[in-house]
């Protein structure tokens, strides 16, 4: 089972190089399971069954059981679709000294050096003048960010310093750059007229396929584990509880823009989830009762203990691959977990037979944050932060245990139907 789920996660990573492709793959899986679309601007369907709603790179899905009254408690699984990367600028065609290059800027807290000397593809969406968008994915070697040879920088191994304006521009050919070249190429790839492309959202992506690693193949190496590993587990959990939910409305949400602070119309700080939950609760007057009895699982990967840098971790609160998803705690509420929320998570793990760990950052190494504190602040719903351990987080290619995605999906399945 774990092997099959690990392979399914690998397939999911390959199918989802951008938030828009992640949403499209999620919709494909939900539709195959009988979920139907709830148009954001259309009439609200409050009948029983599974539905999903899409806004750009954000996906929501839920299942309403038969006879659910107003004020029915909600169980929410929250993740995010975006990952640190290099994003193409609006005027991408640049270059010098006989090289054609692509102008990019850093998206999120990317580990810059991890993008050097890798074969890179390009993916995203093209926005057309008629208001429609078209997905594009060049899933073959197209770009490369070349590093300077050691002969020209003898001190590079004593400290690599990169200027994101000058040193992270990928090359994609020889000759003189001409405005419109890249978009013309991508329009042809997408089968649209280049003259109809008004704008774009494009990012580079690493092309090496996800692979099993280690003597016993107990590890999974791949791109965008942060945070598609969580998105994948959340979709698996929601589909597992569909038709079986009783007295609970399970909800899945995967936000865009978490890596840059979540402050957007499609981010966790925006109103989208609150609007949907209010409707699911039966309206504004009923949502007070529903929110008071609801819980949210904020799921984002956590730092696996790094064997070469153990001094960066709290010695009593490390997490290791295949040790189960870790509950994440921070005294300053950078994670939203409190004791009752932690108890709900431990109960879900015990009932599903899943091991779990506890992660707390070392006092001298500040932790990051997640959508958890944002959602708990905005909604007032008790929230617990968890995540599977990942090594080399925010690099172009990350590493996790092959059993952990299955552990997370199993515990989340129980959490989404827990009436207590």
Residues 6+ apart with CB under 8 A from 229: 9, 301, 388, 390, 400, 404, 405, 408
Helix (H, G, I), strand (E, B) or coil at 100: strand
Interior CA angle at 136 toward 133 and 142, to 5°?
150
Which residues have a Cβ under 8 Å from the Cβ of 75 and sit 6 or more positions away?
Answer: 248, 249, 250, 251, 294, 295, 297, 415, 416, 417, 418
Q: What is the largest CA-CA distance in the chain?
A: 72
* Rounded CA separation 194/188 (Å): 7
Could you give the CA distance from residue 262 to residue 269 in angstroms, rounded to a whole number?
A: 5
Mean pLDDT value across residues 68-84: 97
- Residue % of the chain over a pLDDT of 70: 99
**78, pLDDT greater than 60:** yes
CA distance linking residue 139 with residue 179, whole number of Å = 23
pLDDT at 1: 37
Q: CA-to-CA distance for 399 and 223, rounded, in angstroms?
A: 9
> Distance of CA 230 to CAs 225, 393, 404, Å?
8, 14, 10
Cβ-based neighbour number of residue 315 at 10 Å: 9
Distance CA 180, CA 177 (A): 9
**Cα torsion at 93, 96, 101, 105 (round to 10°)?**
-80
Cα-Cα end-to-end distance for the chain: 28
Query: What letter does residue 300 receive in the DSSP assignment?
Result: -
Q: What share of residues in the chain are helix, strand, coil (percent, to 5)?
A: 30, 30, 40
Residue 258 backbone phi and psi in degrees, to 5: -65, -35
- What is the predicted pLDDT for the residue at 2? 39
pLDDT, average across residues 343-359: 98
- Give the C-alpha separation, 342 to 384, whole Å: 6
| Distance in angstroms (rounded) separating the CA atoms of residues 61 and 364 | 39
- Residue range 248-276, pLDDT digits in tens: 999 999 999 999 999 999 999 999 999 99
Tokens 């309403």 belong to residue: 64
Q: Give the CA angle between residues 120, 396, 300 to the nearest 5°.
A: 135
Average pLDDT, integer, range 364-383: 96
Q: Is the pLDDT of residue 49 over 60?
A: yes
Comparing C-alpha atoms, which of 207, 183, 196, 19 is closest to residue 102?
183
pTM: 0.97
**With 90 as the cut, is the pLDDT of residue 244 above it?**
no
Instruction: Report the alpha-carbon distance of residue 252 to residue 247 in Å, rounded.
Output: 17
* pLDDT tier at 3, thresholds 50, 70, 90: low
Length of the chain in residues, anyone?
A: 420
Query: How many Å apart are CA 124 and CA 267, to the nearest integer?
Result: 18
Instruction: Count the alpha carbons within 13 Å of 147 in the hemisphere toward its beta carbon.
Output: 18
Using the Cα atoms of residue 390, residue 377, residue 57 and residue 180 in order, give the sign of their dihedral.
negative
pLDDT in tens, 155-202: 999 999 999 999 999 999 999 999 999 999 999 999 999 999 999 999
**Cα–Cα distance measured from residue 303 to residue 367, given in angstroms and rounded to the nearest whole number:** 10
Instruction: Kindly report the average pLDDT of the chain as a whole number.
Output: 96
Q: Where are the alpha helices (DSSP H) in 242-283?
A: 272-281
């Amino acid at each position: 089972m774990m092997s099959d789920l690990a392979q399914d996660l690998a397939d999911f990573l390959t199918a989802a190089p951008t938030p828009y492709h992640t949403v499209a793959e999620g919709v494909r899986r939900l539709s195959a399971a009988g979920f139907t679309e709830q148009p954001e601007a259309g009439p609200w369907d409050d009948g029983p069954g599974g539905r999903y709603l899409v806004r750009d790179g954000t996906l929501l899905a839920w299942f309403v059981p038969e006879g659910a009254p107003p004020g029915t408690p909600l169980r929410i699984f929250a993740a995010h679709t975006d990952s640190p990367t290099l994003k193409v600028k609006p005027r991408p065609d640049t270059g010098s000294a006989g090289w054609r290059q692509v102008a990019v800027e850093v998206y999120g807290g990317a580990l810059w050096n991890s993008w050097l000397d890798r074969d890179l593809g390009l993916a995203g969406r093209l926005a057309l003048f008629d208001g429609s968008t078209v997905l594009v994915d060049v899933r073959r070697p197209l770009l490369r960010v070349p590093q300077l040879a050691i002969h020209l920088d003898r001190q590079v191994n004593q400290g690599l310093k990169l200027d994101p304006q000058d040193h992270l521009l990928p090359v994609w050919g020889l000759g003189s750059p001409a405005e419109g070249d890249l978009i013309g190429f991508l329009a042809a790839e997408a089968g649209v007229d280049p003259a109809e492309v008004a704008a774009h959202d494009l990012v580079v992506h690493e092309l090496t396929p996800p692979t099993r690693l280690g003597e016993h193949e107990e590890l999974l190496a791949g791109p965008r584990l942060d945070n598609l590993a969580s998105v994948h587990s959340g979709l698996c959990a929601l589909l597992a509880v569909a038709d079986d939910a009783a007295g609970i409305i399970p909800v899945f949400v995967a936000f865009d823009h978490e890596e840059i602070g979540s402050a957007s119309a499609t981010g966790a700080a925006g109103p989208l989830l609150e609007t949907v939950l209010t409707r699911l609760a039966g309206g504004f007057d009923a949502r007070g009762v529903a929110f008071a009895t609801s819980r949210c699982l904020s799921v984002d990967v956590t730092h696996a203990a790094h064997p070469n840098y153990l001094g960066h971790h709290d010695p009593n609160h490390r997490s290791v691959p295949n040790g189960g998803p870790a509950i994440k705690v921070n005294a300053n509420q950078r994670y939203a977990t409190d004791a009752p929320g932690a108890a709900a998570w431990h109960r879900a793990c015990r009932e599903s037979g899943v091991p779990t760990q506890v992660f707390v950052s070392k006092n001298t190494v500040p932790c990051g944050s997640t959508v958890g504190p944002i959602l708990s602040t905005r909604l007032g719903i008790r929230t617990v932060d968890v995540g599977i351990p990942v090594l080399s987080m925010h690099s172009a290619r990350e590493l996790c245990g092959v059993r952990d995605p299955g552990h997370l999906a199993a515990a989340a399945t129980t959490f989404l139907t827990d009436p207590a």
